[in-house]
Amino acid sequence: MSLNGKLFLRSLIAFTFIISIFLSCSEKEETFIEAEEVELLPVVNVDSIFIRLDKELIEKKASNIDKVFRNLRKKVGFNGTVLYAEQGRIIYNEAWGFRNVRRRTDSLQVEDKFQLSSVSKMFTAEAVMILKNEGKIDYDADIREYIPEWPYEGVTTRLLLNHRSGLSRYESLADAKWPDRKQPFLNDDMIDYYVKYTPDPYFKPNGGFNYSNVNYALLATIIERVSGMSFADYMRINIFEPLGMNDSYIYEMRRDTTVSLYIEDIVQGYYTEKRRPMQAPNEYLNGVKGDKMMISNTEDMFKFWTAVDYGLLLPDSIQDEAFKPGSPKSRKRKDNYGFGWRIPGKYPGCYFHYGWWKAYRSFFIRDDVNDKTIIVLTNTSQGPNADHFWKIINDKTITIPPASVNISYWETKKGSKFPYSSYRERVVNE
């Protein structure tokens, strides 16, 4: 047995001994005595034992996760950032690869920002739920109450959230009709084109499930119309700033500008062409937001989840709807969809979302039963699939116990307290 193993075993035996003494004492008949009769005896600092045990387990788990990504880097060229948390603690937070994938220069850093692609949808859904909680949105009202010019009847906010509107893809409509690819195609342009061309829906509202970006682009517009703010401002004021998500924002194009060559201030994306990585340019469809175009990093995304988990943004009665299946059970349907979250049939109590858009891929997997979270952001069109990340989530060889030290708090601009603490902040209390 290794030295670390021996130390862990000794600590475990000591901990078990203490627990056994406690249990045996608790079974005795209670005796009430005067305070002056009590002799103050030295006691073992149980917290220190917890922390020591936890630290060793955390280091072992982090080492195992590191081996996974080291292997993925070697075999499939994994390029991106990774955050794994368990029991509210950040266990692993690392960056692999390069900002410039083609030249293999400028090593990635954990604080680097990525385009989240479709993982943006969980944030858009959260904003809709905030407005619902304020009584400003009715899930089951026809969206023409908020977008009067919308040409289709029977589409509700709930159906947009659950991807059950039946609406066709705006990407196909824009590719066929938009005249100038140097001009951004914006949310208002998308609505104008549906009014002008009225493409046939795939099916009647609530007639089935079809994952389509148009649903969440429409939700962003509803947020703007109801709040009187731009979508970017609403997200900043109501989610990003209160939660200390200082590296997060919504990328916005203006109508009076041409499409820039690249999006500044973020890691650039790369696709593979003839086995060579090529930098992916910005494009006109990046003007549509709500379904994508949120910029963030892994630590900010974990802050968001922590806020959701602690009920800091919404009461449980509202927040829990995000994780309820929006479609009826079906033998053909393996997974379901809530409000901005996919619900896997294979893993009860888990929620996730993946994203892919123009060389960016993102993964957010949450095991709510065992309090595990993994967030992976990449800037390459190729790389490992999500199966590798699910294996990390489902690995039960090492289980991290609940936190044994108090959660530290950050004051926010709204005066609320945000319970978020890094691994370093937790173990420093030894």
Query: What would the two tokens of residue 377 be?
Result: 């952001």
Q: Quote the pLDDT of residue 23.
A: 38
Sign, CA torsion 297/298/304/308: positive
Residue 244's contacts (CB-CB under 8 Å, 6 or more residues apart) are 303, 410, 412, 418, 420
Q: Quote the pLDDT of residue 306.
A: 94
Q: Quote the pLDDT of residue 16.
A: 40
Residue 380 contacts residue 361 (beta carbons within 8 Å): yes
Query: What would the two tokens of residue 41 be?
Result: 């005896």
Spatial separation of the C-alpha atoms in residues 393 and 159, rounded to whole Å:
30
Residue 113 contacts residue 298 (beta carbons within 8 Å): no
Query: What would the two tokens of residue 299 be?
Result: 């630590």
pLDDT in tens, the chain (430 residues): 444 443 343 444 344 433 433 333 444 343 333 444 444 444 444 444 445 668 899 999 999 999 999 999 999 999 999 999 999 899 999 999 999 999 999 999 999 999 999 999 999 999 999 999 999 999 999 999 999 999 999 999 999 999 999 999 999 999 999 999 999 999 999 999 999 999 999 999 999 999 999 999 999 999 999 999 999 999 999 999 999 999 999 999 998 889 998 899 999 999 998 889 999 999 999 999 999 999 999 999 999 999 999 999 999 999 999 999 999 988 778 899 999 999 999 999 999 999 999 999 999 999 999 999 999 999 999 899 999 999 999 999 998 888 643 444 444 444 444 444 332 233 222 2
**Alpha carbon 139 to its chain's center:** 23
Spatial separation of the C-alpha atoms in residues 72 and 76, rounded to whole Å:
5
Per the DSSP assignment, residues forming a β-bridge with 107 are 98
Torsion of CA 269, 272, 278, 282, to 10 degrees: -40
Residue 297's contacts (CB-CB under 8 Å, 6 or more residues apart) are 81, 110, 111, 112, 113, 114, 247, 248, 377
Per the DSSP assignment, residues forming a β-bridge with 361 are 356, 378
Query: What would the two tokens of residue 38 be?
Result: 């009590």
Spatial separation of the C-alpha atoms in residues 192 and 6, rounded to whole Å:
69
Spatial separation of the C-alpha atoms in residues 303 and 326, rounded to whole Å:
26
Q: Quote the pLDDT of residue 51.
A: 55
Residue 16's contacts (CB-CB under 8 Å, 6 or more residues apart) are none
Per the DSSP assignment, residues forming a β-bridge with 417 are 411
Exposed, middle or buried, 329 (CB in 10 Å: 0-12/13-18/19+)? exposed
Bridge-based pairing state of the strands 294-296 and 360-367 = unpaired
Q: What are phi and psi of 157, to 5 degrees?
A: -60, -40
CA distances for 47 relative to 6, 18, 260, 398, 425, angstroms: 20, 12, 55, 20, 15
Task: Name the pTM for this structure.
Answer: 0.84
Per the DSSP assignment, residues forming a β-bridge with 174 are none
Q: What are phi and psi of 245, to 5 degrees?
A: -85, 75
